[in-house]
């Protein structure tokens, strides 16, 4: 949850460009209420309790939770409007997260004209 709070600048920049920051979790919607309150209106928080989308992206850590439950591998993925993956960072361990400033730089680069 703290990481999503740190990504508020990224979320605001994506909204400025017509995109969205989305968080997808295996948690049930009722368990995500605090997350929704924390991240604010510029972030979509989606519940995927059957882990369909998480599995489709190859991000399911089966029985990786404290009680042996399936959890999502932390990942950051920038997806273009046409569905192409522009950039992705998949954590190798739970603490492996990109710096929010680096993610913001990547998002800002999306609106720069290409030469």
Query: Can you give the pLDDT of all 115 residues of the chain as single tens digits?
Result: 567 778 888 888 888 888 888 888 888 998 888 888 878 788 888 999 999 999 999 999 999 889 998 888 889 998 888 888 889 999 887 778 888 888 888 888 887 766 5
- For the segment(s) 2-105, the CATH number from 3.30.9.10, 3.30.565.10, 3.40.30.10, 3.30.420.40 is 3.40.30.10
Percent of the chain scoring above 90 in pLDDT: 19
Could you tell me what percentage of the chain is helix, strand and coil, using 3-state DSSP and rounding each to the nearest 5? Answer: 35, 20, 45
Strands 21-25 and 43-47: parallel
pLDDT for the residue numbered 33: 87
CB contact at 8 A, 53 and 20: no
pLDDT for the residue numbered 99: 85
């Amino acid at each position: 949850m703290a990481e999503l709070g740190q990504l508020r600048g990224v979320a605001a920049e994506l909204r400025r460009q017509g995109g969205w920051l989305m968080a997808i979790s295996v948690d049930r919607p009722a368990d995500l209420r605090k997350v929704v309150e924390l991240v604010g209106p510029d972030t979509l928080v989606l519940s995927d309790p059957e882990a369909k989308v998480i599995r489709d992206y190859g991000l399911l850590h089966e029985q990786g939770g404290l009680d042996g439950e399936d959890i999502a591998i932390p990942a950051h993925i920038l997806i273009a409007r046409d569905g192409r993956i522009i950039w992705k960072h998949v954590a190798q361990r739970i603490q492996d997260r990109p710096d929010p400033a680096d993610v913001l730089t990547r998002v800002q680069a999306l609106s720069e004209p290409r030469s």
